[in-house]
A and B are shown apart, each in its own frame.
Chain A
């Protein structure tokens, strides 16, 4: 199985900050990576697919990059509604696997 490791596990930031979350894979797999946002008590919401493609309706302050084994999600200017947990997920190889999550908290 491909193991996905996110860092940091928790991130404290303020509104307006630039935030970067990293996701590392145990094996290289190109760009078949997605990012999801999950708020407490809610279902995950797709932000990014194919590592860098922004899902329609997602604000442009979200961006993704990377390929192979290292990927990043960047929020250019953190907004109040962005405080949530973020997950990366590889869909290159079964079983599809998620990172453990990164919780973005208010500083």
Chain B
């Protein structure tokens, strides 16, 4: 069965410093992977997705993620954090067959001035 593990429940950074949110996946085949962002009391917005094309995926708002099969990882990064990046981030894997999504437990990103 497919699953994802988000290694940190909270990450704190200062504005202008790099962001790293870690995600490891488990899948018996080449997976489709996503990062979604959720601001408080809002729905989820797609940041980026990997579907077996380029391993370095660029998303919205300056975020990117690299698919590393050897490490079964799909970490999310951003060179310079902005206050508006403060939110909850979910790493997601899609199962085979019908597109059922399996969500990680989320990482809350805190950005201080």
A binds B: no
